[in-house]
Amino acid sequence: MLLQASGIVKHYGVTPILEGVSLQIGERDRIGLVGVNGAGKSTFLKILAGELDSDRGSVSKPRELKIGYLAQNSGLAPQLTIQEVMNDAFGPLLEQERALGRLEARIADPSEQADAARYEALLAQYADANDRFREAGGFEMNNRIRAVLHGMGFGGFSRDTVVSSLSGGQRTRLALARLLVVQPELLLLDEPTNHLDIDTLTWLEQYLRTYSGAMVIVSHDRYFLDATVSSIVEIERHAATRYTGNYTRFMELKAADFAQQVKLYEQQRKEIQRMEDFIQKNIVRATTTRRAQSRRNALERIERLERPGTLKQASFSFAAERRTGKDVLQVYDASAAPGEGISPLFRHVGFEAKRGERIALLGPNGVGKTTLLRALVGQLPLAAGTIRWGTGVQLGYYDQEQRGLNPANTVLEEVWSQYPTLPEAEIRTVLGNFLFSGEDVRKTVGSLSGGEKARVALSKLMLMKANVLVLDEPTNHLDLWSREVLEGALEEYDGTLLFVSHDRYFLNRLADRVVELGPDGAAHFLGNYDEMVAKKRELEEWAAAAAASVGANSSGGAAQAAQTSVTDYEADKQAKREERAKQRKREQAEADISRLEAEIAALEEEMALPEVCTDFVRLREVQGKLEERQQALEVAFALWESLME
């Protein structure tokens, strides 16, 4: 056992955050810490790291345990260089290295060599110090720094680059690199994937898979959690529950656990009703009064289960007010820079978008993805090239920096000021669907968390009813459950999507085409993220095989055969991609049918409840939901049948 937290309680004022949360961390444990925004995940991690005191409870760990903690705010001193930041991680080793240098200078000094006995003792002292330095990893220090910096995307940076010149994402990556190079026995990582591009994410996943220590990771990246953790701890309603397995397994176990709780609750409710009916019928009969009284006593002793319920989640949908033409967007030979006097980040980029397409823009950090989106919506000029939007296009833009929000406005004022003709009740209803209820709408935008600001921006975007959505990292700051709600809403959207995201689950679920930006153009891939990765791997394997074949047979016929095989290969892969796309749609339709059938059955059961039957308003509400699900089921069946044909 590396660390044990017992009965941790933390309140902010009168607001409870954690109530009796406990956690045991063993050697090589890989724990994902999940929960909705505001559940207390970061607070709990700070308590484990010793950065914050709990109100009650204890954290037990060995005195010599080395903990590495990465906060969401990197905390790096702005005046330091990259080399100084990395060297700072090796403070004791650097002191040992300096001591060795001083001993080497003394050994080379002729005056020290004059006394043979003292010189012999000096050599022995140097040998001991050298052994300690080697055992502590001193001779591997520079290699480890070089490897980690390269993996975290700093291979092309000068080591003299100062922290103040780095972007927020680059500072996060440097803080993570500094932490990883120390190799602590316990890693505590709070949102380590924020601002990382996909190449860096992939490197980090591979690094953590082989990491020799234990780790606790707070993350909203489902793909990352699936790749790195072996158990999930969920903080919900101020308490913690542990599940074995990665994030996908956790969702399965949680659903099964909830279903079991509902079943037990329903069984107990029916048993209580049966006992109450028996007591009511027999309490006044002379022959059965004693049995009725016994049942009453038993009923009073029953520990009644609470009705299982889930936390309230955001609920919203996107709809287009009118359709665009078939040709939505054409980009020709584009290049752009984030500001005047700055060299373009990319050149010769071109692509097209048709009505209803879902196009993901990918590329490494700094290649200009956000710059391209801002140029598309008219916020930045192109340095060269042409952007041509089709007829009937109404743009909706989501800015990851939330530059369009006024921090002085209240939540209600922020949304209502953009849609002043809508009644206040409708604005409040929309905000309620985005989890702003009651006095929450009176909060100022400037006081909101990142996740809350994202929900305000999404509420404004939903009301716009645009037929083309341009989204820049829409899942940033959203918790896992809000991300899934957003994905579901965008899946149902019948307009055109153009988005930047590093969330690979989001990419896999929504993208049907990927445009990968580079400094000198763009590569195009049909399908989602996983299909793009498979395509790249296949092309690399084919290129290696073709090169070997051409090398073995240098005749002109070999070159022509290689070219023919390229054409055949592309045609075959295109057919396979189309079949995979159809298969995904069939699977999604089947999943929708299964979900709708389960929801219809649950609503029918709810309508049969006595408290619903006697409440006309509630009965009509449930009936309306039932009719909506039945209509949706008919549409899903029709889609499934057409796909099967």
Q: How far is CA 196 from CA 203, 366, 378, 426, in A?
A: 10, 11, 26, 38
* Beta-strand runs (E) in 143-227: 186-190, 214-218
What is the Cα–Cα distance from 254 to 241, expressed in whole angstroms? 10
Residues 6+ apart with CB under 8 A from 276: 299
Residue 557: per-residue pLDDT: 52
- β-pair partners for 114: none
Q: What is the pLDDT of residues 114-128, one digit of tens each?
A: 778 888 888 888 888
More confident position, 312 or 255: 255
Average pLDDT over residues 253-275: 84
Q: What is the pLDDT of residues 180-208, one digit of tens each?
A: 887 889 999 988 887 778 888 888 888 88
More confident position, 582 or 389: 389
Q: Is the pLDDT confidence value at 324 over 70?
A: yes
Residue 313: per-residue pLDDT: 66
More confident position, 299 or 284: 299
Domain limits of the chain?
251-301, 588-644
Residue 168: per-residue pLDDT: 65
Confidence label for 517 from pLDDT (cuts 50, 70 and 90): very high
Residue 315: per-residue pLDDT: 75
Q: How far is CA 493 from the centre of its chain?
A: 22
What is the Cα–Cα distance from 159 to 541, expressed in whole angstroms? 35
Name the average pLDDT for the chain.
84
Q: What is the pLDDT of residues 535-547, one digit of tens each?
A: 888 888 887 877 7
Q: What is the pTM of this model?
A: 0.69
φ/ψ of residue 401, rounded to 5: -85, -5
Are 86 and 157 in contact, with CB atoms under 8 Å apart? no
- The least confident of 176-190, 268-282, 592-606 is 592-606
- Per DSSP, 499 falls in state E
> Which among 175, 209, 174, 181 is positioned nearest to 30, based on CA atoms?
209
Residue 440: per-residue pLDDT: 84
Q: What is the pLDDT of residues 201-233, one digit of tens each?
A: 888 888 888 888 899 999 988 999 999 999 999
What is the Cα–Cα distance from 509 to 491, expressed in whole angstroms? 8
Quickly count: other Cβ atoms within 10 Å of residue 329's Cβ.
23
Are 512 and 581 in contact, with CB atoms under 8 Å apart? yes
Q: Is the pLDDT confidence value at 396 over 90?
A: yes
Residue 76: per-residue pLDDT: 81
What is the Cα–Cα distance from 645 to 642, expressed in whole angstroms? 5
Are 562 and 549 in contact, with CB atoms under 8 Å apart? yes
Residue 357: per-residue pLDDT: 93
Q: Is the pLDDT confidence value at 620 over 80?
A: no
What is the Cα–Cα distance from 428 to 157, expressed in whole angstroms? 49
What is the Cα–Cα distance from 602 to 359, expressed in whole angstroms? 36
Q: Is the pLDDT confidence value at 19 over 80?
A: yes
Average pLDDT over residues 340-351: 88
Residue 74: per-residue pLDDT: 64
Q: Is the pLDDT confidence value at 566 over 80?
A: no
Average pLDDT over residues 300-322: 77
What end-to-end distance do the CA atoms of the chain give, in Å? 58
Residue 364: per-residue pLDDT: 85
Confidence label for 571 from pLDDT (cuts 50, 70 and 90): low
3-state secondary structure 26-74: CCCCEEEEECCCCCCHHHHHHHHHCCCCCCEEEEECCCCCCEEEECCCC
More confident position, 616 or 561: 616
Average pLDDT over residues 284-295: 75
Burial of 420 (0-12, 13-18, 19+ CB in 10 A): exposed
Are 197 and 153 in contact, with CB atoms under 8 Å apart? yes
The amino acid at residue 278 is F
Residue 402: per-residue pLDDT: 85
* 358-362/513-518 β-pairing: parallel
Residue 375: per-residue pLDDT: 93
What is the Cα–Cα distance from 499 to 517, expressed in whole angstroms? 13
**Tokens of residue 330, six digits:** 């054409």
- Per DSSP, 439 falls in state G
- The least confident of 240-254, 425-439, 584-598 is 584-598
Confidence label for 550 from pLDDT (cuts 50, 70 and 90): low
Average pLDDT over residues 86-105: 80
Q: What is the pLDDT of residues 371-382, one digit of tens each?
A: 999 999 999 999
Confidence label for 279 from pLDDT (cuts 50, 70 and 90): confident
Residue 556: per-residue pLDDT: 52
Average pLDDT over residues 16-36: 90
Average pLDDT over residues 616-645: 78
Q: How far is CA 429 from CA 314, 404, 487, 624, in A?
A: 12, 22, 21, 18
Q: Is the pLDDT confidence value at 147 over 70?
A: yes
Most confident of 167-181, 210-224, 291-305: 210-224
Q: How far is CA 154 from CA 194, 345, 405, 588, 592, in A?
A: 16, 18, 33, 40, 44
Percent of the chain beyond pLDDT 90?
26
